[in-house]
Amino acid sequence: MKALVRSMMVPHRIVLLLIGVAIFGWAIYALDWSWLPEYIQNGLLLKGLWTTIYMLVISWAVGLFLAIWLGLAQAAGPWYLALPAKGFCSVIRGTPLLLQLWFFYYGLGSIFPHFPSIRESWAWEYLRQAWPYALFSLTLSFAGYEGEVMRGAFLGVPKGQLEAARAYGMPRFTILRRIWLPQAVRRVLPTMGGETVLQLKSTPLIATITVLDLYQASLQIRQDTYIIYEPLLLLAVIYLIVTGIIVALFHLVERQVPSKRS
């Protein structure tokens, strides 16, 4: 903290800081924030934030779980597993997320109703809403991107480690659980913070299929009040804060994991 304060005590930084404070003050006084208390009170913004966060957390966790298998299939699997995994990763990484999202929501979503058996089943309650499609395609997208990362991480673990484990007579699954996976995860940890921020930044796309996330909340405010910039600015600030929290969290986790360099 002291170092931070000292590094800010340079003339041009003080000027920049003052300009920043001035812009902030101007934004508070000159722009129209009269709508803000109402939308905090009726819970629209909070609800949006909650949707954004649970979409991020669930798609992150499930996507990472899938990515481990995708990476493993590509790094060590037989060709009939490696090839589909590689194809899946390239298609996910080669097409826009927006297109994938619309493919599932408009494409799949328009086919389901034609099957009476689906319409009568318990799943229909969920399949007629938008959020399952959003969660599904966000998860697949994260799995695709991370599958590629995990492939590199698995291949990057020194061969000697695996040979040593095999020499100890460990079964294959134990090798994966005790040796291979932990070391691969340690390898991806430094990039994981950045990847998670990228995933956070793709969540507003789900607003295009009517899911009420943070961005959709700001769109509704805009529709109600005809105010363009202020909701968007608030949105940018909230995303900045969430990004900061994610970066700090991963920094904390990274410090917990012992590594040779530190």
Partner 1 sequence: MNWLLGLFEPGHALGLLALDPPGWGGPLLEGLLHTLEVAAGAYIVGTLLGVLGAFGKLYGGPLVKDIAAIYTTAVRAIPELIEILILYYLVPDMVNKVLLSLGRDRIDLPPMLVGTIVLGFVLGAYMTEVLRGAILAVPHGQIEAGRAYGMTPLQIAWRITLPQMLANALPGMANLWLNLTKDTALLAVIGFNELTETSLQAGGTTKAFMLFFTAAGVLYMLISVLSGRLFALAERRARRGQPSLRGGGV
For 123, 176, 179, the CA distances from 168, given in Å and listed in that order, are 48, 14, 12
Task: Decide if 109 contacts 132 (C-beta within 8 A).
Answer: no
For partner 1, the closer of residues 74 and 203 by Cβ is 203
Task: Decide if 101 contacts 137 (C-beta within 8 A).
Answer: yes
Binding piece for partner 1, criterion CB under 8 A, among 22-30, 64-72, 90-98, 183-191: 90-98
- Cα distance between residue 251 and residue 261, in whole Å: 15
Please report which residue ranges of 77-158 form alpha helices under DSSP H.
79-94, 97-102, 109-111, 116-119, 124-127, 131-156
Does position 99 interact with partner 1 (CB under 8 A)? The reply is: yes
SS3 content of the chain, % helix, strand, coil (to 5): 85, 0, 15
- Cα distance between residue 189 and residue 254, in whole Å: 7
- DSSP for residue 208: G
Does position 111 interact with partner 1 (CB under 8 A)? The reply is: yes
- Cα distance between residue 165 and residue 207, in whole Å: 48
Q: What is the dihedral of CA 201, 203, 204, 209, to 10 degrees?
A: 150
Does position 96 interact with partner 1 (CB under 8 A)? The reply is: yes
Helices (H) and strands (E) in the chain, counts: 15, 0
Contact letters for partner 1, residues 240-259 (x by CB under 8 A) = x--xx---------------
Determine the size of the site formed for partner 1 (CB under 8 A).
Answer: 41
Does position 217 interact with partner 1 (CB under 8 A)? The reply is: no
For partner 1, the closer of residues 2 and 114 by Cβ is 114
Contact letters for partner 1, residues 41-80 (x by CB under 8 A) = ----------------------------------------
Does position 190 interact with partner 1 (CB under 8 A)? The reply is: no
Does position 233 interact with partner 1 (CB under 8 A)? The reply is: yes
Does position 215 interact with partner 1 (CB under 8 A)? The reply is: yes
Does position 16 interact with partner 1 (CB under 8 A)? The reply is: yes
State the minimum distance, in angstroms, from the CB of residue 181 to partner 1.
27
Does position 208 interact with partner 1 (CB under 8 A)? The reply is: yes
- Take residue 52 and report the two structure tokens written for it: 């954004």
Q: Which residues bind partner 1 (CB under 8 A)?
A: 10, 12-13, 16, 90-91, 93-100, 102-103, 106-108, 110-111, 114, 197, 200-205, 208, 215, 228-229, 232-233, 235-236, 239-240, 243-244
